[in-house]
Structure 1
Amino acid sequence: MAARLRTWTARLGAVAITLALAPAAHAVPDRVLPEGSAEHYAGSQIAKHEGRGRSGASRPRQNGAVPGMDVSSHQGDVDWDRAWADGARFAYVKATEGTGYRNPNFGQQYDGSYRVGMVRGAYHFALPDRSDGAAQADFFADNGAGWSPDGKTLPGAVDLEYNPYGDTCYGLSQEAMGGWVKAFSDRLVQRTGRHPTIYTSTSWWNLCVGKTVTFGATNPLWVAHYNDQLGPLPNGWDRHAIWQWQAAGLFPGDQNLFNGDSEQLRGVALG
């Protein structure tokens, strides 16, 4: 009997060691991008191709403009109380990229900005050569692009900028790129009831979309230009909604100015 107990004890010990050495089961990760890829934030490729321009952190002068910020997983969990104390009154939070990546910090960033009183919205980093516009809009809508007329939720935004992996315009003609953006916009309208804000730079848009299709009558413009003066707008718009004047990529996030006062910002959120 004693010999049997010793045998069972030895077997149980071996099982325990095997379980301890076995790899733990993991849930499907949020960071699902093609092999060799990296997660990107709004302006990461614009700054790389067009330069950061401004060397200082002082805010450009724009009368009546409301300061805000945009963040992604690069900032991790954001100290929203500090951001509010520093003057930020709105925020765009990265939700998705392509059709596989979800920002693991999205909940803390999206809900946290709302908690301190900011008007906030979500954005999607587009990879137009990986899947069609409607598919990426669906992925975005399923993972953070919801909108409600509460006066504190901005329409979802699509980030269109230089290809991080190759050809500037993702191998698409101007007509094809314009069609991609329209497909994304139309599907997000179906899913959320709002036309998405379009984030881009004048140089990239004029090169990759040009005058093939215009969105100025329906889609707010969030334009990136890192200088003291805003400069010309992309083809199709005669007014911008938001100017991203600094792409920091670190805390407290990229810096933006809304082109209007707080009531007009709320009006954009209301639709």
Structure 2
Amino acid sequence: MSNPGRPVVLLSALLLVVAAQATANAAPDDGDHEMGSQIALVEGRAMPASQPLTAQVAQTPGMDVSSHQGNIDWKAVAGKGGKFVYVKATEATTYTNPSFAQQYTGAFGAGLLHGAYHFAVPNQSSGQAQADYFVDHGGAWSRDGMTLPPALDIEYNPYGANCYGLSQAAMVAWVHAFSDRVVARTKRYPTIYTSTKWWTQCTGNNGGFGANNPLWTPFYGSSVGALPAGWGFLTIWQYADKGTFPGDQDRFNGAYDRLKALANG
């Protein structure tokens, strides 16, 4: 006796096999995640990028970039008033930005203060290992008056669970290990880029970093809102993902001479 439903079942099974094979053969993630990209995906954006910002002190305009921006006309950036840039150098211990040299040295040549940042993937290797990889591939610091302290970008996991499968205590230990190793290698505490929501969820809103590590946070609104525990003030504000400059739009929370003081340590 024939079964009229059997061809449909077989076709469905075949489609599932094809889909699974396509997933297995798909190119792996290229490891090039922009600063704040996962925060934007999870938390969204609170406002259009064009909304004006309010500030209590003088603000110094800048940006952060990755390989997504490619080669940049840094003289044009300087001509529009850009004063500083952070350039993505590395991710985990498996990725380096192929545009790093042009972006980092080009910004320096155009007179912008520059710094490098690392996108953390805490479940792939230790904080110390990722700090070493970062410093060895662009994350070093120079006492030249033009180099900003290294930065750690730690945010939602692009590969899985938000907190990378780490407990809050383990995450705090990971960040400490990264920071301590950067200090040992460069003599500078790294700036920490994160959102209050992620920091609260994944570290338990740990307050143990504010005394040494400058804070950089994203919030696309007219104010930054509540800061993570331990930080009494904000050093850098990422306020939009597009605008006058290439990449994300940032403001240093102070006048240019204070930004120079940060570079000088």
Q: TM-score, normalised by structure 1?
A: 0.84
Give unpaired runs (5+ residues) of structure 1. Answer: 1-33
Superposition RMSD on alpha carbons, in Å? 1.7
Structure 2 CA distance for aligned equivalents of residues 59 and 133 of structure 1: 37
Which one is further off, 222-231 or 204-213? 204-213
Alpha-carbon displacement from aligned partner over 1:111-164 (angstroms, at most 9, x marks no partner): 111111111100000000100100000000000011112211001000000000
Which residue number in structure 2 is paired with residue 161 of structure 1? 155
Equivalent residue for 1:52, pick from 45, 51, 63:
45
Taking every aligned residue pair, what percent have the same amino acid on both sides? 54
Give the AA of the match of 2:147: T
Cα separation, partners in 2 of 1:83 and 1:58, compared to 1, 3 Å:
farther
Q: For residues 199-238 of structure 1, what are the structure 2 equivalents within 5 Å?
A: 199-212=193-206, 214-238=208-232
Q: Is the 1:245–1:257 Cα contact (8 Å) retained in structure 2? A: yes
| Counterpart position of 1:260 | 254
The separation in 1 between residues aligned to 2:244 and 2:49, in whole angstroms, is: 15
Residue type at the aligned position of 2:239: W
Structure 1 counterpart SS, 2:138: coil
CA contact (8 A) 1:95 1:106 kept: yes
C-alpha distance in 2 between matches for 1:224 and 1:158: 14
**SS of residue paired to 1:144:** helix
> Which position in structure 2 is the counterpart of 1:183?
177
1:135 to 129, 132, 145: 129
Distance 1:169 1:250 in 2: 33
Q: Does 1:245 align with 2:205?
A: no
Provide the residue aligned with 2:7 in structure 1: none
SS at match of 1:95: strand
Q: CA deviation at 1:250?
A: 11
Structure 1 residues 127 and 78, CA gap change in structure 2 (3 angstroms): same
Mapped to 2, the partners of 1:164 and 1:214 lie a distance apart of 26
Instruction: Classify 1:180/1:213 alpha carbon distance in 2 versus 1 (closer, same or farther; 3 Å).
Output: farther
What's the offset of the Cα at 1:213?
5.2
TM-score (norm 2): 0.86
**How many residues align structurally?**
238
Amino acid at match of 2:40: A
**Is the CA contact (8 Å cut-off) linking 1:68 and 1:89 kept in structure 2?**
yes
Which structure would you say has the larger Rg?
Answer: 1
Structure 2 partner of 1:35: 28
